[in-house]
Structures are given as C-alpha cells and as structure tokens.
Structure 1
Amino acid sequence: MKRATLFAGLTDEERTVIVKHMRLQHFAAHELIYAEDDASTAFYLIEHGGVRLSVGPVALATLGAGATFGESGVFLGRRRAVSAEATTDTDAWALASADLEQIIQDHPAIGLKLSRNFGSRIIQVEKHLIQNRLRPAEALQGLTDEELQELAAHLELLDVGAGSPIYQAGDANDGFFILEQGQVQLRSATGERDLQPGDVFGLAATLADKPYDATAIAQTDATLWQLTREAFETLAAEHPEFAPHLSAGLRTPLPVSDEELAIERLRALPLFTNLDDHTLRAVTQRLVVRPIAAGDIIYKEGDVGDALYLVDKGRVEIVGSVSRKGQVLARINAGGFFGEMALLTGKPRSTGARAAENTVLWALYRADFEELVNVYPVIGKALSQVLQDRLGAAGHAFVEKHLRLISLFSGLSVEQLEDVAERLLPARYRAGDIIYKAGAPANRVHIIEKGVVELRGPEGALTLRDGDFFGEEATLSGEPHLETAFAKTDGEFWELTREELEALILKYPIVGLNMSRELSRKLHRRIQQQAALGVQPAPAPAPAAPAPTR
C-alpha cells in the first residue's frame, strides 16, 4: 500500500483502517477476474502475479505487484469499462464497494485523500458530502434533494493552512464555505465564534452579494468545501428557485456593512422618519435578507400581512391579483419599500407582489417588529400616529376597489360600505371546485369579486360573473341549497354569514331591496336561458323582498 500511488499520503492509522476491510483473493492463470460491463463491486491491490486489462481482443495494459485496478468503476459508480484477467497465478487484495463507502462515512479524510490521488471526486465522498455535511446543515434546509445534488456537484475542495485567513471583513464576496475538517474561527464586531465540521459560513454575504462582514481564520490546518461566487451565480441562473430555497426558513441577518444604507432607507418610511439613529440601528439588526427569483410571488392578495419589505436589488411589481395576473399597480425599484400597511394593521393583503427580475429584499417580520415596539416605546407612538393618518385612506381605497361594483351593496355610502367590509370574509376557489352541493346546509352568501360560477338546479343552469352573488335564498330561509354551485374559473370571493347578512338588512334596508331586485333579475335570466335552449320553464311565484326578524 505504501508504494501504491492511490494510497499516497495516508497515515499508518488510515492504511490500517483500509487493510482491516480488505480480503485476499487467489486467481489462477488466465482466470477472468471481471468482464466488461460487469457491476463494479470491488477494486484490487495486486500482492503478486499479474493482471491484463483489455477491451475486447485489445490488451490495454499488464499490471504487476503493487498496482491497483478496478478503482475507476468503483470510484465513479459505473460498470466495468474493461475486462481483467490473471496472466499467472495471482493473489490480490480486494476492497468491496460497500466497505469503502462505510470507511469513508466513518473516516472522511481517507475519502478526501483517495479523491485527490484519483484525480477527481469519488462517488463515496459525494455521498458523504450530501448525507453528512449538506443535508444536516440548518442553513441548507430549504433546498430540495435535487438542489442538494446540484450544490454538491459545484462545490470545490479547499485546503487552508493553520493561521491563514479564508476571508477578511470587507473582502469582495467569493461565495460561501462548509467546514469539512479542522478548526475555523469567525471574528466580527459582535464577537468570536468557533465553527464545527458541517458549519456553513459566508452565506449571508453571498445571498446579498455583499462584502464579507466578518473575518474567517483557520485555527488549524483545515479542509473546506467552497461554492464560489461564479458557481453560485451559475446555479442561480440554471435553477431559479435555488437562491430563494437557500434562504427559505433561514434568518439571514442584514450584513453589518449595509446597516448605514438600511438606516437611510428606513427614514423614508413615515413610521421611522422621526426615530433616532440608535433606535433605527436596532431595527436594521432585525432585517432579514430574502433573495427572490424573477417571476416568483412574494405574497398574494388575501395573504396574512406578516412583513414589510425594502428592495435592496432588483424590481418588484405590485399587482391587483396575482392568481389572475392582474393589472400592475406599481413598480418598486431598489431603495423602495412595500407591504407596510398589512404589517401595521394585521389585515390581509389587499394586493399581491411578485419579483419582476431577480431581486434581493430586506424583510422586517411582524414578530420582530412587535418585539421592537415593546423594547422601544417611541416606535409604538410612531405606529399609533401612522395608523391614525392612514387607516381612513386605506379603508376608503378598499371600499372603492372591492365593494363599489357589487350589486348587493348598491346605493350604500362610503361609510356604510366600510361597515360592510368589516363583516366580509375572503375566499378563493379554483376552476372545477364545488362551492356547495344541492341539499347541503346553507349558512352564508357568496359574492363574486372575480370569476365565473355556474348554478345547476332543477330549473336548469345559470351563469354568474363579477359582482353577482348567490346562496342568499337558502341562507335567509334556513333551508338546504336547491342547486349546486361550481367554480367555472379560478375565482376570488367574499362571503357573508347569515347573521351578518340579517344584521345588514336590518341596519340598511336598501340591502334587502337590492337582494329582491337581484332575485327577480336572476329568475328572468334563468327563464331566458331556458327559452334559448327550448325548455319550458316551470311556473314560479315572484320573489318577495326578504323580511328579517326584528
């Protein structure tokens, strides 16, 4: 083994580990050891004798004592590319593939040395890398199995001598690192941290494409895996979800080098305009970096408002409805912000947001914001003032956007519509969904904001569109539905419970009148549809205006 190139650099202890798993095998002269296209189950070290390697009738090489053969197929996970035949009586030490894999799982350094001697990364090291370094890493939990495989394929092995810097604070970013073996210390303005094998470092700067904000020093000779900046950008381009998945669930803090810029940008928000630098710095230390791939949805209309966002790089589009590819209402470029009102009020998002290009956001999440309010009372005072100034305008905008065109609420004032808005529940249905079935209990009215619904009952089918409502007859009567309601397209709805509907009719009689008119129109449309199909409609009494219980 000491003379074999494949085992060069191994310590006596490492060679002993391998020898314990080797088995001596005897081959008679001209005995076939393995044939082309056989499975690669072991590789061999010749003790004495000779072995001829061939492809078909062509002899490629004849090996003697001290030579290894069969390792290529084992190391690369491929079937045999050549045949091997003993030229004389031969003894050879065999190391099975399964034993090699176990050795490298238990002693990764052996695998790294075999890889270097072989000239490329061997498959057993690849498995160790994925199973023991990448998959357990908390920082990489957002990656899919396919993305972990791609990441492993792009990682490069790096040796660093004791006392040498891996990078220094302020250095241009050249990717992130995973410690394989040795000791590394991170030194930053906030203190020092000793890293353990498997720890990931330099990731925040890589995701933000910023200089490193700490210094990484090898305390001992260390071996690292590095994803270079170039390899990161290649992966992000070939797999658009890679960077967002890499940051998913990972609270990547804002680099210290960006704090001054973040303070400047926060001052542009009315909530933070009058705060002192000390308080603003505390806010910046709660900001989280979120890379978003071009075209990805940041949030949808109706989602819980859990964060406000500042755009560090890229561009974001604010849209009326993400699911229906609604009209672009605004474009937010680097330095801008969005999402603050939903964070402040806790109400569902009234619009959607998507990345128009590869984008890096700084997010302030609700939980962090609430902690800041508790620690810094001045933020709470500023919040109260902003809400007082803006909620009225926001409520008016909501009414104009969502409720003004719904026939059930025709004739109500802005103030009355704002009262209605407080009672509505948002809902979404996809094309083909059954909203309710005939015979099912009725407990709410469904109002179509966007979409197409078909009602199918004993009297035929009726198609309803934006602004229409349905389910009101059964809801008010307390009887089961007489028809089945299908969503013919993806749709966005508002729902009103029986109790809230009765309260509105009692408070605003015009709602009852609107409902009576719509019942008459609906009956007329159904008769017209039946006539067009040549169906004789059954006689039906004219609908009466609903009379709520007083």
Structure 2
Amino acid sequence: MSDPLNPEQLRSLTPLNVLSEQQWRELRSQLVPQPLLTGQLLFRRGDQARLTYYLLAGELSLVDQEGRQQRIGAGSDLSCHPLSPSLPRLHEVRALSDSSVLVLDSATLDRLVTWRLAYQDLLLDLGQEHDELEWLERLLDNPLFAKVPPSNVRAMLARLQRIELAAGSTVLREGESGDCCYFLYSGRAEVMRGADSDQQILAELEVGACFGEEALLADRPRNATVTLLEDGVVLRLDRQDFFALLKAPVVNEVSLGEAARLLSDGGQWLDVRLQEEYECGHALQSLHMPLQLLRLKARLLDKARTYLCYCDSGKRSASAVFLLSQLGFSACSLRNGLDALPAVQRASLLCERGSGYLARSGGRTERSR
C-alpha cells in the first residue's frame, strides 16, 4: 500500500488546503492514493456514494449524459477540485492511463472543512482579545469541539473561571462526583488512577487539554485523579455551561422553490464557500463572502435584505445563517446544500463566470469575472 500523502501534496487540493495539520492527521487513514489502471471505471453516471474523489496522477475521461467527453490530467486546475461532485454523479469517469486517485468520506471532509472555516472567523475575532492565541488554537483542536458551533464556544470562553494553582495541587480526584470540567491553560498535569502501591500514571496532559468531561457525559464519579506537576493555570467550566456548549443552534432552512420566492421579494444569494469553489460555479447575482471572513465583512451586507446562504452540503451555510442572525441580519440556508439538488436544478442555478459579486476590503463589492 502507498504511503499517506504529505502536507505539500494536500495543499493544492480544494477545500482540503484549508484544513489544519491536526485535521489532516484525523484523515490520515484515508489519505492514501488508490491505483486506477488504464480503462478502469472509477464511478458511473448516477452513482450516489458519499465519497469525494481527487485525481493525483495520470489522466481521466469524464463523459456526461450527452456523450460529451472531458479529459482531466493530473496537475491541471481541474484536478485540484473534486471530480464530478454532484450527487447523483453527472459523469462516468474512467482512467485514460494508469492513474491514482484520492478517495475520501464526504461527510467527514465536510465536517472538518466547516469546522475549520467557522473557527477561523472566531480566532480572528478573539485574537484581538486573547494574548495566548496559540493556546486557543490548541483548545479548539480538541475533539470535544468537533461539532460545536463557534457561537457556543464564544459564549463558553466568557464563562470560564481562571484558577491559578501551585505544583502538586490536585485539580480533581478519582471517585468524586463531577460538577465541572477543566481546560489546562498553562503548566503540566498528570493523570493517575488507583491509590498507594496500585497507583498508575495514565497520561501527561498538554496545554489546551480538556479533562473531567467524562464524568459529566456519563454522569458517573471521576475515574482518575489529575495533579499539577508544576505551577499552572486551569480554566473551570460548570456542568450547566458544559451542556449548553454542546447544544446545537436551530437554523432556518428553505428549499430551492422557497428560495426563488424570497429572491423575487428582494433576497440575494450569499455564497459562503472558498473563492476557488465559487469560481467553479455560483448562483446568478450571488455575493461571495466566505464563511471564515463573514463576521469581518458582514458590514457590507444590507439588513433590509434576506440573504440565502448556500454551500455544497449545507453545513457551512448553516453556520453562516446562525452567525448572521446573531448580527441582526435576516438569513436562511439552502436545505442540504447544492449537492442535494437534482442535476437539472443544479445546472440551472450555477454559472461559471460573471453575474456575481465579490466582497472586497474597504467596504466595497465588485462584479466577479
């Protein structure tokens, strides 16, 4: 089996190139090139497997329902984007030469991309308020936050209680009931289980680590003792705030038909994907404002209009709607995103050039090319 791809190879693939190295490590088992022999079929037209494909080496043939053929070679601009991403597939894809492809689980990739772009906005905003931005980035890499909306994290940070402790202090003790969890802000901490001669060291915690959450999730006594190895600072989060953190927001969603009605009443499409994705195809008259910059550029929007947010799966647009709603805008999300649209509807909605707007710095927008 081939070795996993390295970061340099991943940085050319959209939207994989926005992920952190921590997220690439989460995908590591999938980041292995798959061989494809000359003439071998990759997928048929109409295929509905929730997989994302990238061409890494060789050349492929994409044939649509009209029999038109498109050739894609590795290293081209087209090869940097997923192959025939719509479901059901619009093309039959075969290898024109011995090739290799990357095959990823679409749901996992979309979750990681949405998380990363949403938290980029949070980090940019909080970077002005927190001296230790590196600590915050480490905190957000914790799997606990994988599905937590950034707005919830923002509220959680305001509720954390800072506690300074000396080396040797016990933060939590095995067998005690759990009424809170902690985050290690500075210093080193040791996790132990058992007592006296049966005591066993389980792990040493790194800065940004969350501990004590298992007792809250399982509603059971603490299963280990955590002690500081040196002077440090921990941040305490109470039980009720912990569960409020995990609660997902409710987002207003609309079908394509409902979106058309809102557009006729003065609404506007808002594309929250990456610019590379936008340039591959976007809705007519849509405004491009990527999720990670949405909070910074929201001042360019009109609170008298309704914004119809869209992305490929609906996850990024749901985060955008929640953020815009907090800022006082009227917004809704295209239900399940572009990927859920039938091929005819998707083709009629998206265009490759023109008829759109890019949000620029300095409080202006300009027509896309």
Normalised to the residue count of structure 1, the TM-score between the two structures is 0.21
Normalised to the residue count of structure 2, the TM-score between the two structures is 0.30
Q: Quick check: which has more Rg, 1 or 2?
A: 1
